[in-house]
Chains A and B, each alone.
Chain A
Amino acid sequence: MDTQFMVSLSIILATFALYIGIAVYNKARATSDFYVAGRGVPPVFNGMAIGADWMSAASFIGMAGTIMLLGYDGLAYIMGWTGGYLLLTFLLAPQLRKYGRYTVPEFIGDRYDSHTARVIAAVCTIIISFTYSIGQLSGSGVVIGRLFEIDAKLGTMIGVVLIAFYAAFGGMKGITWTQVAQYVVLIIAYLIPVIFMSLQLTNSPLPWLSYGELVGKMGELDRELGISEYFAPFTNGTKWQFLALMFTLMCGTAGLPHVIVRFYTVSTMKAARWSGAWALLFIGLLYLSAPAYAAFSRFILMTKIAGSEITNLPAWTKSWIDTGKLQLADGNGDGVLQWNELIISNDIVVMATPEIANLGVFVIGLVAAGAMAAALSTAGGLMIAISSSFAHDIFYRVWKPDATEKTRLSVARWSIVIATLLAGLIALNPPGAITQIVAWAFAIATGTFFPALVLGVWWKRSNSQGVIAGLLVGLAVTLGYIFAAKYGGFTILGIIDTGAGVFGAAAAFLTNIAVSLATPAPSQKLQEEVLDLRYPEQMTYKNGDVWMNTDESAKL
């Protein structure tokens, strides 16, 4: 364990040094650099940064375990978290880029010409990002705690200091390039163990092609054990819950402020299209591998661990039993560990599998570094979203419009430090499981921003009264359903709290449309600005006509 500790520590410190080095090197100097990296990040790299921003501790640490335990039903996360990129790239990203504002609340405030809508949107952004970041911080606490064999709370505090440091001092530019590095670290850390396990179990270096036969084999093993087959659909919830969860995750993806803001860092609508495509390619690498990871882990546990003598279990089991995330009890007292006597938490599958499969100290250390990259990069993006909502949308646009650039930058930095500390404080005693908290954040984004943004971009008749009512109703219905389903046992068609977004989105769309139609249309200028989003930058909609900019100097 001492060698393991030293190796893991060195790999993590080396990667941290790299991230901090990049952040310091890019230390932002001007406000526009701080928020959107000067709008010049090339699509391929922006795609990687979106990938790192996107793939959080929940994706990296939790997802394969969730699929392993839920079987087919866990695939709602795979389809939901990738399919949302189509909604984002088709319906929102290029149009929002052409509108050319710094943040999502700013788009809502200016598009609907309402300070009330702006403030509500800023508050929603803070709620969503803050909820999400609690999960990230407590995830990083688990990794640091497990790795250095210190209390998870202490691990969380170390994570807080790191995030506050580089988010506050690097700004978005630091974060963009830091996240490119983090993507590379986390994807290598994820793929290496999957490929090694594939070689061990199937003699093929391509896990994506080789794990199919294991899925089939496990179905046979399950039938022998008399439990439902690994791939049998809808064994853990209704079909409607699967569909509702998938819908919520997809629309939440398209409505998450910290992901949308990434598309403001590209130069044009065309670059936004390409960024979306590259992002999903880079994200897809991990999401295509997670079910393979899950299948290999389950197969190893079923065939190599289950069936061993209870007194003669491998050494790795002890350290995980100590964390309370793994339970092995010889229930029927026959001295042999049966499959149903093994209870493993979905949060440790990715972390424990390299040890289970005996992949060596280097791989184990690398996986820990990758998990840290996933947690830190997402938390960094979330902190930028929170600080820009507060410092830019509330402080500068509403509260103190005459504030100097220096004041605004310092308010932005302090809001990152304070938000990180607050989130860290709550992460010490998280209010629910990490995946649960993350799913709530998605449900809230689905119920608030997704309808407001889609109607804002695609329907010129939508007005400020409509969006204010829509945001408030969507938020209330989503939160109401989450609480009713979780604590009141109230469900419709078996849809539980994680699928709440489907009701929030429906209510918000209907409210926005009904209230908009019942109140006067927005001004001619606002409607023209919406029609202008149909066309690329070179085409402008003005006074009922479309104009092509052919001026050689290209100045408006």
Chain B
Amino acid sequence: MKKIEKAVADQYFREKNRYMVLYLIIWFCVSFGAVLLAEPLSHISLGGFPFHYFMGAQGSVVTFIILLFINAKVGDMIDKKYGIDEARNVKLSEGKTVDH
């Protein structure tokens, strides 16, 4: 066991949260935002779709999927930056399973 500087540990948590807040802002805009602005957006057309319909049926869903993959990848990169070894995580979580 090695102690980590408090500043470094906080930095890890903050960095993860900063990305998460960013993703959630985008998430909010493409879903709730697009619905709130449905009437004005309906005058724009995209590939035959009125734009508000496109956002509801496809734009939002595709954005969600992309955000989740970016989150997974960025999460891995942050872990790597702080020297987290996934193989050790696997071993540790095996050990941490509650023994019933």
Q: Which residues of A contact B (CB under 8 A)?
A: 31-32, 39, 72, 75-76, 78-79, 82-83, 85-86, 89-90, 97-98, 100-102, 208-209, 212-216, 219, 231-234, 239, 242-243, 246-247, 250, 267-270, 273-274, 276-277, 280-281, 284, 287-288, 291, 392, 396, 534-540, 545-551, 554-556
A546 lies within 8 A of B4 (CB):
yes
B92 lies within 8 A of A239 (CB):
no
Question: Which residue among A39, A231, A396 has the maximum number of chain B CB atoms within 10 Å of its CB?
Answer: A231
Query: Looking at chain B's contact residues, is the secondary structure mostly helix, strand, loop, or mixed?
Result: helix
Which of A90, A392, A545, A551 meets B20, CB within 8 Å?
Answer: A90
What 9 A-B pairs come out closest when comparing CB atoms? A212-B48, A75-B56, A213-B48, A546-B9, A277-B68, A291-B57, A537-B89, A233-B38, A212-B49
B84 lies within 8 A of A547 (CB):
no
The minimal Cβ–Cβ distance linking A478 to chain B, given in whole angstroms, is: 21
A246 lies within 8 A of B35 (CB):
yes
The minimal Cβ–Cβ distance linking A112 to chain B, given in whole angstroms, is: 16
Q: Which residues of B contact A (CB under 8 A)?
A: 1-4, 6, 8-9, 12-13, 16, 20, 23-24, 27, 31-32, 35-36, 38-39, 42, 45-50, 52-54, 56-58, 60-62, 64-65, 67-69, 71-72, 75-76, 79, 83-86, 88-98, 100
The minimal Cβ–Cβ distance linking B72 to chain A, given in whole angstroms, is: 4
> A267-B90, A548-B83, A554-B91 are contacts. A277–B72 as well, Cβ < 8 Å?
yes
CB-CB under 8 A from B24, the residues of chain A are: 86, 90
Which of A208, A274, A396, A537 meets B93, CB within 8 Å?
Answer: A537
Query: What residue in chain B is nearest A555 (Cβ atoms)?
Result: B95
> A545-B4, A547-B4 are contacts. A535–B60 as well, Cβ < 8 Å?
no
Cα–Cα distance between A536 and B87 once the two chains are bound (Å): 12
CB-CB under 8 A from A547, the residues of chain B are: 1-4
A85 lies within 8 A of B38 (CB):
no
The minimal Cβ–Cβ distance linking B42 to chain A, given in whole angstroms, is: 7
Which of A86, A268, A556 meets B68, CB within 8 Å?
Answer: A86
Seed contacts A79-B61, A287-B61, A539-B4; 19 additional CB < 8 Å A-B pairs: A32-B100, A90-B20, A100-B97, A102-B100, A208-B58, A212-B54, A216-B45, A216-B50, A231-B49, A247-B32, A280-B65, A288-B58, A538-B85, A539-B12, A548-B1, A548-B4, A554-B88, A554-B91, A556-B96
A72 lies within 8 A of B3 (CB):
no
Cα–Cα distance between A78 and B35 once the two chains are bound (Å): 13
Cα–Cα distance between A86 and B93 once the two chains are bound (Å): 24
CB-CB under 8 A from A247, the residues of chain B are: 32
A39 lies within 8 A of B65 (CB):
no
CB-CB under 8 A from A277, the residues of chain B are: 65, 68-69, 71-72
Query: What residue in chain A is nearest B74 (Cβ atoms)?
Result: A273
> A82-B64, A216-B50, A548-B4 are contacts. A537–B13 as well, Cβ < 8 Å?
no
Cα–Cα distance between A550 and B18 once the two chains are bound (Å): 27
Q: Can you list 23 A-B pairs, Cβ within 8 angstroms, ordered by A?
A: A32-B97, A39-B94, A78-B60, A82-B64, A83-B31, A85-B64, A86-B23, A98-B93, A98-B96, A213-B48, A215-B53, A216-B49, A234-B38, A268-B93, A273-B75, A277-B65, A281-B68, A291-B57, A537-B93, A537-B96, A546-B3, A548-B3, A556-B95
CB-CB under 8 A from B53, the residues of chain A are: 72, 75, 215, 231
The minimal Cβ–Cβ distance linking A526 to chain B, given in whole angstroms, is: 16
Which of A79, A98, A102 meets B60, CB within 8 Å?
Answer: A79
> A277-B68, A535-B13, A554-B91 are contacts. A72–B56 as well, Cβ < 8 Å?
yes
